[in-house]
Structure 1
């Protein structure tokens, strides 16, 4: 479809150029309309430039769809091409309409200075977009958090990043809310960015908490939680932690990372909290928590002589 539209745009540009050639020699307007001819010719040339530029963009986009298989890089490359072509087309049209190419470039410099002063925020966002493309703190498809906005990146435009919101004030438990959030790219230069799903290690640690009474056999309860997590996640977690350790070895950070699920203990007012720590993908956190919690609870309930749950108004 894009290729057909691209060829159609080129055809319009070609027809406009042919019309300019024909009218320039064959059209002799009346004396009262002499001033009209230059503007008609310039308008046709501007149409040819605009249509031709649009055709180039469509054909390049179609070519990128076949040659660039990574949809994230294809998205970024398409934005860069679009920006370059728009700037080139604006300069070309301005030059055609004024017949003063050097004057246009000089005027653009003066106007650019004024725009820089008047539109600092949009220009900072544009600079943020350049930073995102070059340093890649995140890209399309990543799950990120910037300030109070958290979600999956669906678009990185020149000025804003658009997220499919996760959690927010409508839902909890790492679930999508159905809303989109628009974040200025300028925030990348002034705020912390949390990326939950980077390409080289798309995993995060999470926890499932279980509250038991002080009468519980803690060794038994912890072994049950570890066993359940090992059955569901153990082997995959071990492989992924090995990758993480390789990356960690390339940094000056000395950090001990367990390659199997572990259970930590925290003291509550009238209960003991057992926190099962495990590794999973960001978009599978809640699903994994549900599966672990249901199985752990079933095994605890099957052993009432070893596991007791706290009761009372403080729970």
Structure 2
């Protein structure tokens, strides 16, 4: 074996010690790569849970490169000491040239240890909102919601954002701390409608829909208050009354899970339409324009259009 190393050293022109370190480094990298494949195959056979598989894959992807860096670095430690001054200057220049990647790497550490969000959370970063589906060294990935799709439904697009965004943009988390959001629905009635009856109907509908949410939200707020200054006096749904330019507006305010917002709106609107259809003294209002024409024989006539 020594003769083989000596032959390679003579062929490449490298010192025998350097060639040995190169071969040892390659052996370490190959070993860690094979170990990663073996571990993941074992995990894949043991479970079919998507979340468990993803967590194992992500952990192995972080641990193996870190472990390889330590092991390979220990092999070349003596050589690094000999070129310490050069490496210092080189590192300084590299830090300037790689400012953005290093910022993203720092952002990854911040996400990893501070946990502003984790995989599975629904977040909004700047103008982008979605569910976090992956977090890597230099970027995290979200499955977009909203945009041209209403009620926070998924668009199907995947957005990759640099980790450095956590230092420059506010992060809105729909999931961490408190699993509910306040949602509002506006119901507009004509001035001639029996708004008191309509308000009672709306209050009864939302009370039935939100009965279980109130109790769950109370528990969530109690747990969230351990880490955040979250305080709500009332969690029960309520219907507010206001006057708009073309009718009476009744605003329903209630708690809902952010991922079930559209579903709850659909159920509530179906109940509203069904209930209001039984009452002739309750009419929906909508914007109208009224104009007048003067006829030669019929006199003044009034016309109304949407």
Give the secondary-structure state (helix, strand or coil) at the position aligned to 2:130.
Answer: strand
Matching of residue 271 in structure 1 with residue 234 in structure 2: no
Q: Is the 8 A contact 2:119 2:134 kept in 1?
A: yes
Matching of residue 144 in structure 1 with residue 123 in structure 2: yes
State the match for 1:53 in structure 2.
Answer: 32
- Give the deviation of 1:240 after TM superposition: 1.9
Aligned Cα RMSD in Å?
3.3
- Give the deviation of 1:241 after TM superposition: 2.4
State the match for 1:88 in structure 2.
Answer: 70
| CA distance in structure 2 between the partners assigned to 1:197 and 1:105 by the alignment | 47
Q: Give the paired residue count.
A: 284
Aligned mate of 2:209, from 232, 236, 248:
232
Residue deviations 1:208-246, cap 9 Å, x none? 221111222222212211222222331x21212211442
Residues 277 and 82 from structure 1, CA distance in 2 versus in 1: closer, same or farther, beyond 3 angstroms? farther
Residue deviations 1:279-298, cap 9 Å, x none? 22111111111111111121
Residues 264 and 151 from structure 1, CA distance in 2 versus in 1: closer, same or farther, beyond 3 angstroms? same
Structure 1 segment 40-189 matched on structure 2, within 5 A: 43-58=22-37, 71=52, 74=56, 77-88=59-70, 91=73, 95=76, 100-103=79-82, 108-168=87-147, 170-189=148-167
Residues 216 and 90 from structure 1, CA distance in 2 versus in 1: closer, same or farther, beyond 3 angstroms? farther
Matching of residue 222 in structure 1 with residue 212 in structure 2: no
Matching of residue 295 in structure 1 with residue 271 in structure 2: yes
- TM-score in terms of structure 1 length: 0.77
- Give the deviation of 1:249 after TM superposition: 5.3
Give the secondary-structure state (helix, strand or coil) at the position aligned to 1:100.
Answer: helix
Q: Which runs of 5+ in 1 are unaligned?
A: 1-21
Q: Which runs of 5+ in 2 are unaligned?
A: 290-305
Matching of residue 308 in structure 1 with residue 286 in structure 2: no
| CA distance in structure 2 between the partners assigned to 1:125 and 1:31 by the alignment | 40
| CA distance in structure 2 between the partners assigned to 1:34 and 1:255 by the alignment | 73
Residues 30 and 210 from structure 1, CA distance in 2 versus in 1: closer, same or farther, beyond 3 angstroms? closer
- Give the deviation of 1:115 after TM superposition: 1.8
Residue deviations 1:139-184, cap 9 Å, x none? 101110000110010111111111111012x322211111111111
Larger Rg: 2
Structure with higher strand content: 2
- TM-score in terms of structure 2 length: 0.79
Structure with higher helix content: 1
Give the secondary-structure state (helix, strand or coil) at the position aligned to 1:209.
Answer: strand
Residues 123 and 312 from structure 1, CA distance in 2 versus in 1: closer, same or farther, beyond 3 angstroms? closer
